[in-house]
Amino acid sequence: MQKDKAGQEIEAFGWIDRIRNLGGLVFVDLRDRTATLQIVIDPKDIPAAKELGLQDCILALGKVRERPGAQKNPKMTTGNVELEVSKIEVLGKSKVPPFVVESDVKANEDLRLRYRYLDLRREPMQQAIIFRHQIITAMREYLNKNDFIEIETPILTRSMPEGARDYLVPSRLYKGKFYALAQSPQMYKQLLMVAGFERYYQIARCMRDEDPRHDRQPEHTQIDMEMSFVDEEDVVTIAEGMFAHILKTVSNQELNTPFLRLTYKQVIERYGTDKPDLRFEMEIIDVKEIFKEKNFPPFKDKQEIRGLVIKDGGAISRKEFDTLNEQAKELGLAGIFWCKRDEKFSGSIAKLMDEDIAAELKLEKGDLLVISAGDDKVFSFLGSLRNDIATKLKLHKQGFEFLWVYDFPLFELDKETETYAPCHHIFSQPKQEDIKYLDTDPLKVHGRLYDLVCNGNELASGSIRNHNRQIQEKLFGIVKMDPTKYTMLLDALEYGAPPHGGIAPGIDRIVMVLAGLKSIREVIAFPKTTTAQGLMENIPDQVTPQQLKDLHIKTD
Ligand code: ASP
């Protein structure tokens, strides 16, 4: 509301964020979804003003007036005006809130989650949730324009583990039988392709009973999509177009497409992770050739000798080196070794260094070289060090660095159980040229898989699927999954299944990254804690013995 409203009589509905008594007048900050407005009440005319409390929901009637020059507040969108109140009505009285509802909240997260409806009144939360809505709207706009059809699929489905544990729902009508909550619409979207819908999408809730982890939720939301008669290029082009449209719509930013593409092998070797953050450089370098002749016992016979050149010699303290050394050894690596270049070389491998090596490594004055050696764990070790150092030295550039990672192995080996597991999920198609290894060496098989990564976050993953029953059955066999759980898909593949593929960008994470926030809980209206509890709902919780009896469940 601006000066042009001055003189108008208005009604303002909202919540009280702040109350100040000044010079016999009561000044109230009244906030609604759109803005905060200063209202001024004279308690001589309206005695109820004295009773007002923080977070009361009120209606204020009055005349808008321009604030005197010195009292204008350029930080507020309505800062040029105020409301001279003639009448107030308390619509909903608030108890004293358990924490101060303010942008820069001091309360801990548990308290905020317990009273989430109050937490959501805070401006940053309102902005995040509205931003989420704008992103979802842009997604829908783009997909509708590109001929996709929004179709809902069941949440209550059969237990079909897709990689995580299922949430099970006991049946009352069928003793001892269970539904499961969908881990994703994967099966159904493939069936929709068999059914001939050709381009499908859905804002889909995915429920997975996974072990608690930072930034993982028992339920998350994806923009799930699937297309028929496509290959990788088609899916990638649609996804890039969608992200370009989102950024243009929500923040008027142009996104450069096509995005960079790197293979799984390249990202692991260069960044030590399959979701690299490209907002800073500092790639992992291969120093094996340089150091293998040096007769340095810790490097002897090591499969990998890799390092990082850090452009700030003080980036790691002696104490931190000791901790890193222990961590490396726990991983079975040779430890961590370092050399700082000043006037001379110093550090644990200074004696291995000379000017030629420094020139080859582009190790300049003031730089620090760190090296570790051992098996391929060296990559993840240096990859996480790379991230930590970037955070410490604030190396992240502004903006969004998108990339596609592709050419993933189809399987990974679970070293504990000595069994194969799908790298993504079991419905991805093996690369044609690798099918020959399915029987002999599954780890050599690459999948038609692609992940979209932005600023160190996996935003989406997808694949071209198997539309051939025999191949799909063979894959189930390799990972020892029971094909009878997927009969509906296997059967459908025998009735003219089209080639198809898709992707499922994770909405929570996308909103978090685009909003520049650190936790997905900041962009979900009612999230669970990291330990999968709902503090507001007080869940999980017990149910009555009768409810259990109805469901044929005995607990001890
Ligand atoms: N359903 C997959 C997932 O949730 C995504 C996909 O392959 O489209 O990860």
**Confidence at residue 163, expressed as pLDDT on a 0 to 100 scale:** 78
What does the block give as tokens for 437? 């290894």
Tell which one of 424, 461, 463 to mutate to probe ligand 1, the residue whose CB is within 8 A of the most ligand atoms: 461
Contact (CB, 8 A) for 116 and 495: no
Question: What's the CA gap between 40 and 17, in Å, rounded?
Answer: 14
Cα 185 to averaged position of ligand 1 atoms, centre (Å):
8
Q: How many residues does the chain have?
A: 556
Other residues' Cβ atoms within 10 Å of the Cβ of residue 24: 8
Q: How many CA atoms within 13 Å lie on the side-chain side of 315?
A: 28
**Confidence at residue 4, expressed as pLDDT on a 0 to 100 scale:** 63
Q: Which atom of ligand 1 is nearest to the CA of 463?
A: 7
Cα 187 to averaged position of ligand 1 atoms, centre (Å):
10
Cα 503 to averaged position of ligand 1 atoms, centre (Å):
6
**∠ at Cα 374 (370, 379), nearest 5°?**
60
Cα 206 to averaged position of ligand 1 atoms, centre (Å):
10
Question: What's the CA gap between 273 and 264, in Å, rounded?
Answer: 9
**Confidence at residue 269, expressed as pLDDT on a 0 to 100 scale:** 98
Q: What is the pTM of this model?
A: 0.94
Q: Burial of 83 by CB count in 10 Å (0-12 exposed, 13-18 middle, 19+ buried)?
A: buried
Tell which one of 222, 426, 427 to mutate to probe ligand 1, the residue whose CB is within 8 A of the most ligand atoms: 222
Question: What's the CA gap between 160 and 150, in Å, rounded?
Answer: 23
Residue nearest to atom 7 of ligand 1 (CA): 462
What does the block give as tokens for 123? 């401006």
What are the 10-residue block averages of pLDDT along the chain, 556 residues in total?
A: 78 97 94 95 96 97 93 90 97 97 96 98 97 98 98 96 89 97 97 98 96 89 98 98 98 96 98 98 96 89 96 89 95 96 94 94 95 97 97 96 98 90 94 96 97 97 97 96 94 98 98 96 97 97 96 89
What does the block give as tokens for 49? 């003003």
Cα 526 to averaged position of ligand 1 atoms, centre (Å):
23
Other residues' Cβ atoms within 10 Å of the Cβ of residue 370: 25
Supply the DSSP string of 508-525, one letter for each residue.
HHHHHHHHT-S-GGGG-S
**Confidence at residue 555, expressed as pLDDT on a 0 to 100 scale:** 82
- What is the helix (H) or strand (E) element at residue 18, kind and residue range? strand 9-22
Helices (H) and strands (E) in the chain, counts: 14, 23
3-state percent breakdown (helix, strand, coil) of the chain, nearest 5? 30, 25, 40
One-letter amino acid for residue 324 of the chain: L
Contact (CB, 8 A) for 39 and 81: no
CA dihedral 148, 149, 153, 159 (to 10 degrees): -20
Cα 470 to averaged position of ligand 1 atoms, centre (Å):
21
Q: Which atom of ligand 1 is nearest to the CA of 206?
A: 4
Pocket of ligand 1 (CB under 6 A): 184, 186, 206, 425, 461-463, 502-504
- What is the helix (H) or strand (E) element at residue 245, kind and residue range? helix 232-251
Extended beta strands in 171-263, E state: 178-181, 199-207, 219-228, 260-263
Question: What's the CA gap between 287 and 364, in Å, rounded?
Answer: 16
Q: Which atom of ligand 1 is nearest to the CA of 225?
A: 8
Give the tens place of pLDDT for each residue, 161-180: 777 899 999 999 999 999 99
**Confidence at residue 3, expressed as pLDDT on a 0 to 100 scale:** 57
Give the tens place of pLDDT for each residue, 426-456: 999 999 999 999 999 999 999 999 999 999 9
Q: Which residues of 470-493 are buried (b: 16+ CB within 10 A; e: fewer)?
A: eebebbbebeebeeeebeebbebb
Cα 144 to averaged position of ligand 1 atoms, centre (Å):
20
Contact (CB, 8 A) for 456 and 276: yes
Tell which one of 192, 425, 464 to mutate to probe ligand 1, the residue whose CB is within 8 A of the most ligand atoms: 425
Other residues' Cβ atoms within 10 Å of the Cβ of residue 57: 16
Q: Which atom of ligand 1 is nearest to the CA of 226?
A: 8
**Confidence at residue 213, expressed as pLDDT on a 0 to 100 scale:** 82
